[in-house]
Amino acid sequence: MLIKHGANVNAMDLWQFTPLHEAASKSRVEVCSLLLSQGADPTLLNCHSKSAIDVAPTRELQERLAYEFKGHCLLEAARQADPAKVKKYLVPDVVNFKHPYTGDTPLHCAVNSPYPKRKQVLETLVRKGAHLNEKNKDFLTPLHVAADNSH
């Protein structure tokens, strides 16, 4: 509710801890996923020069935070139809990253983009192995979304 009404997911307290630092240090996986999906940056450093990834108590959580962050960066780059950012974030393990709440993949985001370079981004994603028939939470493939947008 707070995020929906404009709370800053990267707000820092007196010790430069963000909400993601707090959630990660307490192994609150669902909260971490929510914060990351809303733009939380796990690379921000606290007063001890530790990121949220650094304060996560297990290697598994550290890897999950890094993976989800890369995935959300790729989704946003695809939404913005920014070829340079897509290339920066496009690695094999995130080419088919799915948003945890919408189920959208980078292809869904790219076909839904209003920006002119979406075709270039789509070609890059397909070349790198993006799944063309992956369905989101509404059971729509990227082709359904493209047809709906008359692209």
| Unique residue bearing structure tokens 């959630």 | 23
- What tens digit of pLDDT does each residue of 2-40 get? 788 888 999 999 999 999 999 999 999 999 999 999 999
Percentages of the chain per state (helix, strand, coil), in multiples of 5: 45, 0, 55
pLDDT of residue 19: 97
pTM: 0.89
The architecture in CATH of the region 1-57 reads: Alpha Horseshoe (1.25)
User: What is the CATH number assigned to the segment(s) 58-151?
Assistant: 1.25.40.20
Domain boundaries defined on the chain: 1-57, 58-151
